[in-house]
Structure 1
Amino acid sequence: MYRQEAILQSCKIVAVKMTDSSQIKRLTWLPIIILYVPLCRLLLTNTDLLEQNYQMESNNQKILALAHTHSLIRPCDLEAQGLPRVALTRLVRQGLLTRIGRGLYSIPDRSVSEYASLAEVARKHPQAIVCLLSALRFHDITTQSPFEVWLGIPNKARAPRMDYPPLRIVRISGAALIEGVEEHRVDGVPVRVTNIARTVADCFKYRNKIGLEVALEALQESVREKGVTMDDLWRFATLCRVANVMRPYMESLP
């Protein structure tokens, strides 16, 4: 900025000298002016380019630092920091970022776990709750590997959409949005997941969607392998309004 002002000031000095009629009559000034004014413009243009390049590089470094910190970033993350969204496309083109889905970016070759899809979903939809078959898999209760990510969202919330992974949505309300919901960090991303006892109760509630056999297996494994207490199971059976459904199966456990 200071260099621009200095160049402009020099141009003004030349312009003042031109207004002097005695100097204008001397043609020796004319070649100087003809050469000097384009030079001023060239210097101003180069200075602008240097400042633009500096700002662009500074923005790039801030975005890459953000990607390292959060593992996955979205365009809205840049807006919150006052950074231009268009920089994401440029960094992808340069190979410094990878686009892993619509509106979702990460550093190349980042280390991911087997639950990477949960992290990707949670980064785009942080209020959604991983539940049912996806929660069973997360807690290592079932041998099934669902190809969809099961999510619980509020009744009136807009259903999240992603190119990948495919999502399976269930609607929940009231205390079920809070009770029995834990936060885990998956690949550096906070993910909301129903705890084991709540997941078992949910399986009985949605047994028509996932099958009664899955719910029974979850109940048995949660007690035998995970040490879930009957009190916890009963609490969430009551919350999910499936106490009468679960009672005979709970009583039959050894």
Structure 2
Amino acid sequence: MPVLADMPETFTSSSAFSCGVHPRELYAWRDAGETVELSRGVFRRADAPLAEHPDLLAVSYRAPRAIVCCVSAAAVHGLTDEQPVGVQVAVANGRHPPRIDYPPTRVFRFDPKTFELGLMSIEAAPAEQIRAYDPARTVTDLMRLRHRLGESIAHTALNRYMTRSDGRPALLLEYARELGVLGPMRRALDVVSAR
């Protein structure tokens, strides 16, 4: 019979069941405080190191094809002090969007042709990677969604990105061209560089 120590630090109920864990045992671990239920069907062992981004980790287990985006990605990359009300993730148009009540999740639909542009992995917990957009793609998405998410968030992210040692204006312009926001990005970059 499987024991909790045999399970990975974060796991789903279906992966536990496939290892031979009975549902009664799984929920007994949770009720005894030996695991924490991060989201419906996503568990983390209580003896595991703290996850730096537990909500992002939970959502990535629930929606493995989704990509952390917009303000959630900006917060991870240190491009904003804003904390979104819910985890913001992107799915490709034509894909079934995840329905996640907890943690609260907001889904954006992105063009499949550019969906993986700027994709990277970030560590949400020790040795546990999740999918997220890189800083340049994040800034570009905030710029193109500035009317929905706020001009100030987009401009703050751009300013912070440009002060980073790895800030690359050419990459911003490349992404902006691909994502159809080249004009606004050029104007915003002109303002930043004039300071």
TM-score category (smaller protein): 0.7 to 0.9
Number of residue pairs matched by the alignment: 192
CA displacement, residues 98-157 of structure 1 (integer Å, 9 cap, x when unaligned)? 333311222225432442211111122111100110010000111112221111011122
The AA in structure 2 aligned to 1:183 is S
Kept after mapping to 1: 8 A contact 2:52/2:124? no
Aligned residue in 1 for 2:93: 155
Distance across 2 between alignment mates of 1:123 and 1:203: 25
Deviation of 1:160 (Å): 1.6
Whichever structure has more helix as a proportion of its residues is: 1
SS at match of 1:231: helix
5+ unaligned residues in a row in structure 2: which ranges?
Answer: none
Secondary structure in structure 2 of the residue aligned to 1:227: coil
Instruction: Determine if contact 1:154/1:173 at 8 Å carries over to the other structure.
Output: yes
Q: TM-score, normalised by structure 2?
A: 0.88
Letter in 1 for 2:185: M
CA contact (8 A) 2:74 2:138 kept: yes
Larger Rg, first or second structure (1 or 2)? 1
Gaps of 5+ in 1: 1-57
**After the TM superposition, which residues 81-120 of structure 1 pair with which residues of structure 2 at under 5 Å, given as runs?**
81-108=19-46, 110-120=48-58
Which whole-Å CA distance do the structure 1 matches of 2:51 and 2:36 have between them? 17
Fraction of identical pairs, as percent = 24
Distance 1:87 1:192 in 2: 31
Rate the CA distance shift 1:116–1:226 in 2: closer, same or farther, 3 A. farther
| Candidates 128, 135, 148, aligned match of 1:209 | 148
RMSD: 2.0
Taking the aligned partners of 2:122 and 2:166, their CA distance within structure 1 comes to 19
Superposed CA offset, 1:231-252 (max 9, x none): 1011110121100121111123
More RCO (CA 8 Å, sep 6+) = 2
Verify: 1:65 aligned to 2:3, yes or no: no
Contact 1:122 1:190 in 2 (8 A): no
| TM-score normalized by the length of structure 1 | 0.69
Write the distance in 1 (CA, Å) between the matches of 2:84 and 2:18. Answer: 35
